[in-house]
Structure 1
Amino acid sequence: MTSQPGPRPLVRTPGKPLWAQLRADLLRRLDGGEFRDVFPGEHDLVAEYAVSRHTVREALRTLREEGLVTAQRGKVSRFTTSRPLEQDIGEAYSLFRAVEEVGAVQRSVVRALDQRADGVIAARLGLEESTPLVYLERVRLADEEPLAVDRVWLPADVARPLLDVDFTRTGLYDELERHCGSRICGGWERIRAVVPGRGERILLECPETTALLAIDRLGHDTAGRLVEWRQTLVRGDRFAVGAAFSAHDYRMGASVHIP
């Protein structure tokens, strides 16, 4: 017979609601590797923490509203992997690595990988309008749930070897450096809110009330050459921009919620 876990009394913090302290401890346990398969029910948490059912229900309510716990009638509740990923703006972050670092499985559905001409994009890269470009379009998934639509254009004379790469489970920057000898080291980025079209809502499986955040990026390599124009459309309920500051420092950051 498996023994039940003993009580885990919370260390009461004056001025902080008990449900918030319970929520914080549950998130701490998640970070420690617990609840990967099944999340405890209300009765188990009441007994384990020696708190009221009201306290447990309030903590669970906030977790469900944030998409951190699934709750379906007749099914066992589960922790999702939708913890926010903290990443600084101002560096060429990798969505691929960000998803992998929280233990979620990253996969991409490649919708297009070809060579084409686009005068507008070529001009943004400082090229002649007829310059051939490599175009890559992917739907980015985390644990098989749609997170973003990613579209990127690169000069073909740099990126042509990428046409033979399988991008299902790998990152663009790693493959660009491996096959083309080009490393993105800096650039310019802008984040703006957009209303998704019907096609984007279908691709990302998002409700009509969910907005998207468009991340436009112009990247250059170590030689200072512009080699990337990218637009990533992320579900607005899974991405947030924040800032950390002190009297001596100010740093912008972003949070991506993995579904």
Structure 2
Amino acid sequence: MIPAVERPGAARLDRSLPTPLWAQLHADLLRRVEGGEFTRSFPGELALAAAYEVSRNTVREALRRLRADGTVVAGRGHPPRLGRQTEITQPLGALYSLFASVRANGLSATSSVRVLDVRADGVVAAKLGLEESTPLLYLERVRFAGGTPLAVDRVWLPHALAAGLRDADFTETSLYRELDERCGIRLTDGQERIRAVVPTPGERRLLAAPADTAALAIDRLGLAGRTPVEWRHTVVRGDRFSVLASFTAKGYQLDVHSGPKGPGWSH
């Protein structure tokens, strides 16, 4: 084992141990990462080889393991750096508010409203189980977490149910809170599909996302009892958002073929 150290910096590797040097180096680098080192930059192969008095082959094997688990990211022609951990984690199988989840992670949750109007959309109306000409309240926002763009959020609701939202200020509040307080509607459950997407150029600009940033699309049908009241399409930065599934000894089942079924879903 690597001797315990209380101060930051490289620990001395023990060549008398049966543990390979690369494994000792890998463990010590993880310790240093968890201790808050390397936030500005991650040392290169030569620097690590000198600091730990090992060969570059030993360093490369330790770095290979760090890259495999996402701790370190390194591209051709670029120095290694720490991989970014997602800031917002959402549970699968639970009704959640992105606004509340951002706040729960210790970040400010704000929105910039791009569109709030009434329109007809036959495709979305059908997803809500309505006639194609039914007036819908449409809300489009850029969602921010900690002052940085997190998601482009588009929501459609039956105008007859959600007319009270037209005067709401969504800058620092959640849709579900306003829907409850202004319209007396509280979501009880729903269905959701999450898939990987390539953001459109416009979405990438709104998200201030680099060209190599992945994104997730979340399509949600929200219900109040048995009544569909919300169809939502959200494009969220994949480097800042993740989903979490819990399981037991009995396991869990995800439908990866056709997705959830309901009035808003088609095959």
2:147 counterpart of 1:126: no
Question: Which letter maps to 1:148?
Answer: A
The alpha-carbon deviation at position 209 of structure 1 amounts to 2.7
Structure with a larger share of its residues in strand = 1
2:116 counterpart of 1:113: yes
2:207 counterpart of 1:204: yes
Aligned to 1:142, which of 134, 145, 151? 145
Mind listing any 5+ residue stretches in structure 2 that lack a counterpart?
Answer: 1-5, 14-18, 43-50, 75-81, 255-267
Cα deviation 1:122-144 (Å, max 9, x = unaligned): 11111111111111111111122
2:91 counterpart of 1:103: no
Cα deviation 1:17-39 (Å, max 9, x = unaligned): 55556646765x78xxxx9xxx6
Question: Which position in structure 2 is the counterpart of 1:238?
Answer: 240
Mind listing any 5+ residue stretches in structure 1 that lack a counterpart?
Answer: 1-5, 43-50, 67-78, 253-259
Q: Is the 8 A contact 1:243 1:251 kept in 2?
A: no
Give the whole-Å Cα distance in 2 for the aligned partners of 1:21 and 1:228. Answer: 49
Cα deviation 1:148-172 (Å, max 9, x = unaligned): 1000001111111111111111111
The alpha-carbon deviation at position 242 of structure 1 amounts to 4.9
Aligned to 1:228, which of 218, 224, 230? 230
Question: Which letter maps to 2:114?
Answer: R
The 5 Å alignment of 1:208-219 reads 208-219=211-222
The 5 Å alignment of 1:52-63 reads none
Question: Which letter maps to 2:123?
Answer: V
Question: Which letter maps to 1:193?
Answer: A
| 101 and 241 in structure 1: CA distance in 2 versus 1, 3 angstrom threshold | closer
2:171 counterpart of 1:179: no
Give the TM-score normalised by the residue count of structure 1. Answer: 0.68
The alpha-carbon deviation at position 200 of structure 1 amounts to 1.1
| 206 and 8 in structure 1: CA distance in 2 versus 1, 3 angstrom threshold | closer
| 239 and 182 in structure 1: CA distance in 2 versus 1, 3 angstrom threshold | same
Cα deviation 1:86-134 (Å, max 9, x = unaligned): 3321222111111111111111111011111111111111111111111
Identity %: 50
Question: Which letter maps to 1:189?
Answer: E
Q: Is the 8 A contact 1:107 1:144 kept in 2?
A: yes
Question: Which position in structure 2 is the counterpart of 1:72?
Answer: none
Give the TM-score normalised by the residue count of structure 2. Answer: 0.67
Instruction: Give the aligned CA root-mean-square deviation in angstroms.
Output: 3.9
Question: Which position in structure 1 is the counterpart of 2:46?
Answer: none
The 5 Å alignment of 1:155-194 reads 155-194=158-197
Give the whole-Å Cα distance in 2 for the aligned partners of 1:159 and 1:170. Answer: 16
Q: Is the 8 A contact 2:150 2:240 kept in 1?
A: yes
Question: Which letter maps to 1:127?
Answer: L
Cα deviation 1:62-82 (Å, max 9, x = unaligned): 66749xxxxxxxxxxxx9x95
SS in structure 2 at match of 1:169: coil
